[in-house]
Chain A
Amino acid sequence: MKFWQKAFVLTLLLFVLAFDTGIFLLADYSYKSSLQNYRERSFGEHYFIASSFSTDLSAILKREGDQTIAIQSLFTSYDSYYKKQNVTLALLQNRKLLFGSLPQSVVESQKLQSLDGERRSLIQNIEDKKYLLVSGTLPEPLQYTLIYAYDLSEVMQSQAKLTQFLIGVSAVITSLLAFSLFLIFKKLTRPINELQKATARITTGEYGNRVPVYGRDEIAELAKSFNLMAGEVEAKIEELRLSAEQKQQFIDNLAHELRTPLTTIKGYAQYLQQVNLTDDERIESLNFILSDVNRIQAMASKLLDLALTRSGAIEFQEIQVSSLFERVSEAMKMRLNQNALKIATQSQLNTIWGDAFLLESLLCNLVDNAIKASPFGSTIWLSGLDENHGVIEVRDEGKGMSADEALHVTQAFYRVDKARTREAGGTGLGLALCQQIAKRHKASLEILSDLGQGTRIRLCFTTSSQLDDNTITSTNYYEDVTLQNNLEVDS
C-alpha cells in the first residue's frame, strides 16, 4: 500500500468515526430530551385527568344506585375523549384492572405499582406500539389507580426520519471529504513520486536526471539533497569513466609502443635467418634490432620509475635549490656539450621541501626534453622563482609546440614529433613521469609554449609545507645569478 493511500484511508476512517459518533450522540440526545418532554407533559396531563376524574367519581360515589355502570360510563367518556389525542386510559381498583383496553399484564405489573402514592412512568411496547405509561393513585379515600398511556408512534417516526436524514448527510459529507482528501494526498505526495521515478532512472544509468524542487517543505529539502547527491554521483561516475578511459588509453598506447620495436626485432631476426645477406646488410639489420631492444629497455625502466613514483615511499627533506641545479647541470653536461648548448641557472629560492632524487630526475627529464627541442648553440634556462609557494622553471629557446600539443604532452606515449623523438631515443614517458613526480609533491606542472617561441615548463609548488622564509635577499640573488651564469655558460 502506498504512502498516500495509507494516509488517505487512515484520515478518512478517523473522520468517519468522529463525525458519525458525533451525529449519533446528537440524535440520541435529542431523542432522550424529547422523551423527557413527553414524560413531563404526560405527568401534567395525568394530574389534570386524575383530578377531574376523581371529582366526577366522588360525585358518583355519593349517589345511590348501581355505581359500577355509572363509573364505567364516566370512564368510557373520558377514554373516548382522550383517544383523539393518542391517549389510552385504564382504571384499576386495588391493583386490579377495572376498565380500559390496555392489557391486564401490563397495567397490573409491579413496575407501575406506586407504594407511596407517587406517580410512576414507564415506556412499554404494547402490540407493536410504544407507549409512555403514567400511573398514579386517585386522591384518598378512593381506592382507584388511573393509568395514562400515550402512543409514542409519532415520536418514533420523526426520530426515524431524523436518523435517516443524518445518515444521508453523513454519507454526502464523507464522500465529499474522501474526494478532496484524495486530491490533496495525490498532490502532496507527487514530489515523492517524482523522487522515486528519478531514483529509478538513475539506477538504470541516466545519471543526468534531476527532480524539480517545489516550495520549501521537507520534501523540497529532500529533493534538494537528492539533486545534490545525484550531482555527486554523476561527477564520481564521470571521474571513474575518465580514469578508466585514461587507463585504457595508456594500455593501448603501451601495446602500440611495445609492438613497434617488436615488429622491427622480429622482422629483422627472421630476415637474418631466412635471407642470404651481405655483411653490410647483416650489420645494418643487427643495428636495427639492437636499437629497438634499447628502446624497449628504456621504456621498461621508465615504466618501472613511473610505478615506483606512483606507489613508492618518498623522502621529504630540505633541498638547497642551487645544489639541486648544479647536480642537474652536471648530469646533463654530456648531452649539452654534444649539441653545444649552454645552461644558465638562477634562483630566488634558497631551499625547497621535497625528495631530492625525484626532483633531480624530474629536472633532468625536463632539461632532456629542452635539449631535444633546442637548436644548436642555444641556451637553456633553469630558474627558481619566488612566486606563491615557489616555482622552478625550465625554459628553452627551441621550436615550441602548439596549445593543443601542450595539453596532451603529459599523457604517456604522446609525442609532439614522433619520428624525431624516437630517433633521439625518447620513450614518450618522460613528461608523464614528471607529472607523476610533481603530483607526489602536490605541485602542478604548467606548460607555456608557442610554436617557434620556445617552451617554459613551470613546476609550481602549491603546498604550504614549503618553508615560508626561503628567499635569498635581493643583493645576494643578483650576485648569485651572475656567478651562476658565468660559471655555467663557461662550461
Chain B
Amino acid sequence: MASILIVEDDKPINELIARNLKLVGHICEQIYDGLQAVILANTKVFDLIVLDVMLPGLDGFEVIERISPTPVIFLTAKDGIGDRINGLNMGADDYIVKPFDTLELLARVEAVLRRTMKGTHTFTADDTTVDLNGRKVMVCGSVIDMTPREFDLLEVLICNRNIALSREKLLELAWGYDFMGDTRTVDAHIQKLRKKLGWENRIKTVYKLGYRLEG
C-alpha cells in the first residue's frame, strides 16, 4: 500500500488511473494542473507521483524540477525517443506512453514502488499472509510450501487484485512470454493456490475471461 499523487489534466484519465490504483490497495490524490501539483507535493510526502507531461500551468518537466525528490512515473502522449530520454534524464523512474494498458501501468507502478519503498511488502486476507519480499506464505501462522511458479502466479494476482486477468495474460505475466504451455496449466495452478491458501472464494473465476483475486 502506497500513497500516490496523480497529476493529469484530462479528468477521465485521471479518474481511471485513480480507480485502478485504488483497486490494488493504494491511496490516491488527484490533481489537474502543474502548479497545484508542486504545491501539494511540497507539503505532503508521496511514495510515487504519476505525472502527465503536457499540463496546464507547469508542464511535467517543470514540475519535477520544483519538487522534493520523489519517485516519478511520467505519463505522456509523446513517444518520441527524445522525449523518453529527456524524461528519464530528468529523474523519472519510468515512462508510460498513452494509450497505456491498465495492467502495464499497475506493473510499472509496482516495480517502481518495490525499488524505492523500504520495509516489508505484505498482503493479508482471511488467515493468509503473503510476504512478497521474502517470498513466504503463512496460513494461520504456519508456513506453506509453494513452488516458485505458484508463488509467481500468486504475486501477479495480488499485484493486480480486483482486476480480472485472462489466462493468456496470467501465462504472460507469471510464466513469461517464451513459455509454450497451455492455458490449462493456469487452471491447474489456480486450483492448487485455492486449495493451499483456502482462497476458494477469493480467487474468482470470471466467466469467459479468467480469474480475479478479490480483496
Contact = CB atoms under 8 A, between A and B. Distances in A.
A266 B165 CA distance: 16
A35 interface: no
Interface in A67-107: none
A178 to B, nearest CB: 61
Interface string A418-436: 1100100000000000000
Contacts, number: 79
Nearest to B164: A274
B124 interface: no
Contacts of A259: 77, 97-99
Interface in B48-62: 54, 56
A115 interface: no
B16 interface: yes
A262 B56 contact: no
Chain A contact residues: over half helix, strand or loop, or mixed? helix
Interface in B158-181: 162-165
Interface stretch (B7-15, B87-95, B138-146, B193-201): B7-15
Interface string B181-215: 00000000000000000000000001001001010
Contact of A267 (B77, B102, B162): B102
Interface of B: 9-13, 15-17, 19-20, 23, 32, 54, 56, 77-80, 97-103, 162-165, 206, 209, 212, 214
Contacts of B54: 256
Contacts of B163: 274-275
Nearest to A264: B12
Interface string A271-282: 101111000000
B170 to A, nearest CB: 12
Given A267-B16, A419-B9, 20 more contacts: A256-B54, A256-B78, A260-B10, A263-B77, A263-B98, A263-B100, A264-B10, A264-B12, A265-B99, A266-B101, A267-B20, A267-B100, A271-B16, A271-B20, A273-B209, A274-B163, A274-B165, A275-B164, A276-B212, A291-B12
A268 B16 contact: yes
Contact of B56 (A275, A276, A418): A418
A258 to B, nearest CB: 8
Contact of B99 (A263, A273, A276, A418): A263
Nearest to B206: A274
B169 to A, nearest CB: 9
A255 B10 contact: no
Nearest to A257: B77
B39 to A, nearest CB: 18
Interface footprint category on A = 20 to 34
Considering residues B10, B23, B54, B212, which has the most beta carbons from chain A within 10 angstroms of its beta carbon? B10
Contacts of B12: 264, 267-268, 288, 291-292
Q: Shortest 8 CB-CB distances between A and B: which pairs? A: A259-B77, A263-B99, A274-B164, A256-B77, A262-B99, A263-B98, A267-B16, A288-B12
A202 B17 CA distance: 53
A446 interface: no
Contacts of B56: 418-419
A418 B13 contact: no
Interface string A360-399: 0000000000000000000000000000000000000000
Contact of B10 (A252, A270, A276, A422): A422
A471 B168 CA distance: 74
Interface string A287-312: 01001100000000000000000000
Contact of A252 (B9, B78, B164): B78
Nearest to B17: A267
Contacts of A262: 98-99
Contact of A263 (B13, B19, B20, B32): B13
A260 B16 contact: no
A273 B162 CA distance: 12
Interface in A208-233: none
